[in-house]
Structure 1
Amino acid sequence: MKHRVLPLALACLTALAAQAQGLRPSAGAGAMRLPSPANVLPPAGGSTGVRQADFIVAVVNSEPITNNEVVQRAERVAQQLAGQGVAMPPHAQLLKEVLERLILEKIQVQLAKEAGIKVDDYAIDQAEQSVARQNDISVQEMHRRLAQDGVSKERFRDDLRNQLLAVRVREREVDARVRVSDLEVDQYLREQQKDAAPGRMELNLGHILVKVAENASPEEVARRLERAQEVVDKLAGGADFIALAREYSDAPEGAGGPVLGMRPADRYPELFVNAVQQAAVGTVVGPLRSPAGFHILKVVDRGQGGVPTVAIQNHARHILLRVGAGLSERQAAARLEEMRERVLRGQADFATLAREYSQDGSAKSGGDLGWAGPGRYVPEFEQALDALRPGEISQPVVSRFGVHLIELLERREAKLTQREQRDMVRDTVREKKLEEAFTTWIQEARGRAYVEYRDAPQ
């Protein structure tokens, strides 16, 4: 059922877009009134029946939102919730929420266009490929399955473009303005120490899941166990945990990838906590059997106070080409792909090319970015970096800074210095401030917008 979550929860568009889609209106804001359920009608005969004639349910600054848009998006959200095992809200409430999401999305896209922000077709291509990879299918198969659900290729690409525009306008209007002071870092550390209960264990675990279907035969269970044991054997031989997770794991990944992050032990499943109770940092535990399948755990860190002492760090270098009037994202990607091929054929040196062509401050050092832990790069860059094995070079990657070519030099588990710990805390505080700043910004934008709700025709 993985393909059923395709259109909405696009991890490739970063968690920021998901936040933009999920906001609820603040109480008391008259301009943010949700429509009556009667404004939106479900398709006649259900999701597979013949649809009724379309009509406008809302107008956002003169741009319409139609009933079919809301119904189709609601169907996709319902499929996503079902695939994740989340309880389904009442249908009328789901329609309300989806309409408000579409209104917020429309406002952000309008603001992006007014600011001259554009999304090149190359970025859409990358987004499509990323969604297909997350669902373990080809782009062609993804389009076929979407068509079965009544979503054309063109409509899906338009949705991707709109969500990327929403991300980029947020980056421009919100992200660049958020700063974190040393005083705020100190305050966060004091709060963590104050909230930490005496003797309360905190863990940071790496997680690989080899899924087993609920009705799997004994032979299939044995095959899945063999696959899980293969992971354990490779880890025992010194293989890279993140690389193996990318190859073997069936677990949905959050922002930190297969490393789940420092959290109180009671926020992990009891199965996990019991298994690693006596395990030292760096130990691999498993395979562990649960109803979901076989789990392999790695104890990345343990401690108290909410501040990690160990992290998985990457040492990378990159070449950055900035896009503008004279260079599109597709053109920049083509140039970087040519450089990549030259390096892979041994005809050029990555560092030399970075010094000559990269438009980043790291160019003078051959594109070397040094060692960095989770959260230090923008999501698109970090996602591509985490997917690499040491020595590999990525395909061109689009971010708000331009188009990158990334080479992973080394990966390690490192005990963090006090300064590195503060940097990770700073990232945590910044994420919290970003959420607060975005909530304020989108509410203000929503309040300035003209939104007219239309009743369904009688």
Structure 2
Amino acid sequence: MRFATAAAMTALMAGTATAQTAPTRQDPPAQSATAAGTLQPTQVRREPRMLERAEFQIADGVVATVNDQIITGFDLRQRMLMIIAMSEVEPTPEDLPQIERQALDSLIDDRLKAQEIARYPDLKVTDQEVNQEIEAMAAELRTTGEAYLNILSQVGIQAHTVREQVRVSIGWRRLVGGRFASRARVSKAQVDQAIRQAEEAASKRQYLIGEIYIEAAQTQGGMQGAVNGAQQLIRQMIQGAPFQAVAQQFSDAPSAVRGGDAGWVVEGTVSPALQQAMDNLEVGQLSNPIVVEGGVYIIYMRDKRQGSATQLISLRQIMVELPETADAAAVTAAGQRLTALQPELTCDNMLTRATSETGLLGTDLGEGDLQSVIPQFQEAVAQAPDGAIVGPVRTPLGVHLVGVCGRRVGSAALPSRDEVESRLQRSQLAMLERRYIRDLRADALIEQK
């Protein structure tokens, strides 16, 4: 809600420019059969016009009931205005039916959420909390909450409409977090598996994409309706509606809350139709509708990169210092001493043993790229398993035993463990939230007039 409202405020403030997520290019890429067009890196946000009531052609009476709670034509027009303002589309007669369906669906969900929140007496959202949320939205654009609501009112969106949508959003966020936070926790094994998958994917091609997904089952006209809706959204975005704002208002994907940001997608992890589109799209291009099982995707290619995996290895050593000019007898004696000690050594105890014996030096060499290890060590450890103590190895500094104390695939693009855990938790929570609202819909008595 905060992102969407900020977008609406920016749209209403004259002369504000907003950057798309694609990097700046000197020349627009050539179009392909996959591409519908190129989004400009910077687009001037347009001021939404006030739509006349006649354009909506919606009666003032009841348009739907949700468990005997009504949704009126006024409610529907208000939500349509919100969607138009937030997505910055320039609606045509062909677009309005899709916007109306989207508005009605979101109103039904909000009624169900509000009814569920009301079941918990302790879950009260105060006027002060609503005001604070609105002030926070306004602060992002360096204005006040009062000025913010006043600007929205200029395109016909009443303050009460905004306040109630914010109230439901706060309450639902709290309810979902309180109910599912413990179930959304991820195990160490899940994090380990995700990290392994990221490491394995590091050498593959990767695509930074924005996505809009239209679910056929939720669209009037099924798959053909989803395709038609996608084509209308593509036309609006090519004409200037920002991808992020459109995604937030119209996409059925979990990434909608992030403006359609799907992050980096690894080659081979998506359906063949999506993979083909990602291969063919140039940076900055927007795809034509991509039909997959269950719905239709629109892909915005923000960036591409080739995989760059590196083998990282953790090493420790014990050495007998000898100058490069030491005679063969000294080198042999040092080697024999280390060989006798070698069966007793592990990565855990080798540094302690080095400090407990005269004439030995132990060092933790840390983690580094295998290719950057000195040639003598690289040859010795290249095929050694984790935990192995290899050597003796002669270098200009002395004679060494080297402990192979860890090995992994690394890349500058690999996420940290905390980042992986946070992403998995968000994904789990989003899945539980979607299931929650689906269950509420399945159990509700919903009648559309």
TM-score (norm 1): 0.41
Query: Bigger radius of gyration, 1 or 2?
Result: 2
TM-score (norm 2): 0.42
